[in-house]
Amino acid sequence: MFTIDKPLPSPTEDTEGYWDATREGKLVVSTCASCAHRFLPPAKICPKCLSSEVSFQPVSGRGRVFSWIVVHRPQHPAFLEDAPYNVVIVELDEGPRMHGRLVPETDLSAVSVGLPVEVTYQKINDQITLPMFKAATGT
Ligand SMILES: [Zn+2]
């Protein structure tokens, strides 16, 4: 059967530390030493105060679904066999929001705004491990 590879992130100078962390099963966000702003996507300059004193700092990986959609018609053919699937925006407990998928991806009835979630990881290859989310188990 002919299959199309899914596009993967290409780590850059700005994002390399983020992908290094996910590969080790840790979630990090860019954190500004000047104004304490935490943000994603990763960048070397703080978007709030323009300081370059930015480093990756670990976060809990816990948050809540801020918004979500169901993709019925993927924009890339490699995702056709996954449809329908969810895409969520999670607001981390530490503030930054990030896109992801809530697993299991096909259990669409499990997704709702405000749902407590926690990060989980899907190793794609030796370089890329994608952060995903699952319903939080309490505590
Ligand atoms: Zn700042």
Q: What is the mean pLDDT of residues 66-85?
A: 93
pLDDT score at 109: 79
pLDDT of residue 2: 62
Cβ of 78: how many Cβ atoms within 10 Å? 12
Query: What is the structure's pLDDT at 110?
Result: 76
Looking at residue 106, its pLDDT comes to: 58
State the pTM of this model.
0.89
Dist. CA 41 → ligand 1 center (Å): 14
Number of domains in the chain: 2
| Mean pLDDT, rounded, for 24-45 | 97
Classify residue 4: in a domain, yes or no: no
Residue 5 within a domain? no
Calculate what percentage of the chain has a pLDDT beyond 90. 84
Domain extent for 47 = 12-58
Do the strands 116-123 and 129-135 form a parallel or antiparallel pair, or are they unpaired?
antiparallel
Cα-to-centroid distance, 134 and ligand 1 (Å): 31
